[in-house]
Amino acid sequence: MAVQFSGSSASSESFGSLQSDLAETIASADLAVADELFSALDVIDSSAALRRSLTDPSREPAARTGVVHSLFGSKAQDATVRILEAVVSRRWGAERDLGDGVEALAVTVVAAKVERDGLQGLEALESALLSFRRTIAESHELQHAFTDHQAPAAAKQKLAASLSPQVSAEARLLIDRAVTASRGARPSALIERFASAVAARQQRWIAQVTVAKDLDSSYLEKLSASLDKYFGRELKLDVAVDPSVVGGIRVQVGDEVVDSTLASRLSSLSRKISG
């Protein structure tokens, strides 16, 4: 399944064609390629002039790929340069979209590398990412620590390692990326995006489930089956406990939300009364 891209229609079309055209390169790329793509993204993000140069539709694609080759040709693997040249040769609706494309392709490389080891590897990677996301989402102190712009990247990586000591090298790369270079997003939100990309490799979606208290395994199995049937697709449940929901359950799959919590019903009633 192709990873979804949230940019403009032109950018989404460009990203879709990239996934198809680069499928063979991505399928054989190692983890170092993903790391190099993230490093190249840091360079691109650091310079507005460079982003304009690489997304300027008035410049010939050969000129844009020439910039990539001069910047990264002697520093990165051939596969990395090939991916970057393909990215800048496309048309992007906004400068930001180009960077988002590089980021998404880096995550795709990680997922494809794990996929070569079998679906169990993908499942383990997805679970590790979601577990880390829940850990930081449930702690205001951790959220503050990872969004503190004054904190060194090394300190954030050390903290992340202490919270997820047993994860694979692939999960470590994505977690470290999310906590040190979230590009304006909350680290937990970026981890969720990465996990969704991994889930897409398994042709399934992530359902964010919020409940007031822990659910036992038998209830979770029934809930999973019910949600699969309701949404018409296989879902991976990412369950979070939040006492503020006051009973019931809240489920979000992409942009679709099903909310049966008492808190939601009280809020709706309050709006009706005040309106």
What pLDDT, in 10s, does the model give residues 23-32? 999 999 999 9
Q: Are 87 and 172 in the same domain?
A: yes
Q: Where does the pLDDT of residue 273 fall: very low under 50, low under 70, confident under 90, or very high at 90 and above?
A: very low
Q: Are 175 and 257 in the same domain?
A: no
Q: What percent of the chain has pLDDT over 70?
A: 89
Residue 142 lies inside a defined structural domain of this protein: yes
Sign of CA dihedral 263, 268, 271, 273: negative
Task: Check pLDDT > 60 for residue 4.
Answer: no
What pLDDT, in 10s, does the model give residues 186-196? 999 999 999 98
Q: Are 133 and 40 in the same domain?
A: yes
Q: Are 40 and 113 in the same domain?
A: yes
Q: Are 164 and 38 in the same domain?
A: yes
The pLDDT score that the predictor gives to residue 151 is: 96
Residue 1 lies inside a defined structural domain of this protein: no
Range of the domain at 225: 205-274
CA distances from 133 to 1, 130, 178, 201, 210 (A): 23, 5, 10, 19, 14
> Is the pLDDT higher at 8 or at 80?
80
Task: Check pLDDT > 50 for residue 87.
Answer: yes
- Range with lowest mean pLDDT among 32-36, 196-200, 269-273: 269-273
* Domain limit, last residue, from 138, 166, 201: 201
Residue 2 lies inside a defined structural domain of this protein: no
Q: Where does the pLDDT of residue 269 fall: very low under 50, low under 70, confident under 90, or very high at 90 and above?
A: very low
Q: Are 121 and 168 in the same domain?
A: yes
Task: Check pLDDT > 90 for residue 204.
Answer: no
The pLDDT score that the predictor gives to residue 171 is: 97
Rounded Cα gap, residues 229 and 199, in angstroms: 18
Q: Where does the pLDDT of residue 258 fall: very low under 50, low under 70, confident under 90, or very high at 90 and above?
A: confident
Residue 3 lies inside a defined structural domain of this protein: no
- Range with lowest mean pLDDT among 100-109, 124-133, 180-189, 201-210: 201-210
Name the region of 77 (left: φ>0; alpha: ψ -120 to 50; beta: rest). Answer: beta
* Domain limit, last residue, from 184, 201, 218: 201
CA distances from 138 to 13, 227, 263 (A): 36, 24, 19
The pLDDT score that the predictor gives to residue 270 is: 52
Q: Are 74 and 182 in the same domain?
A: yes
The pLDDT score that the predictor gives to residue 173 is: 98
* Domain limit, last residue, from 175, 201, 227: 201
Say how many domains are in the chain: 2
Task: Check pLDDT > 50 for residue 262.
Answer: yes
Report whether 15 contacts 104 (CB < 8 A). Answer: yes
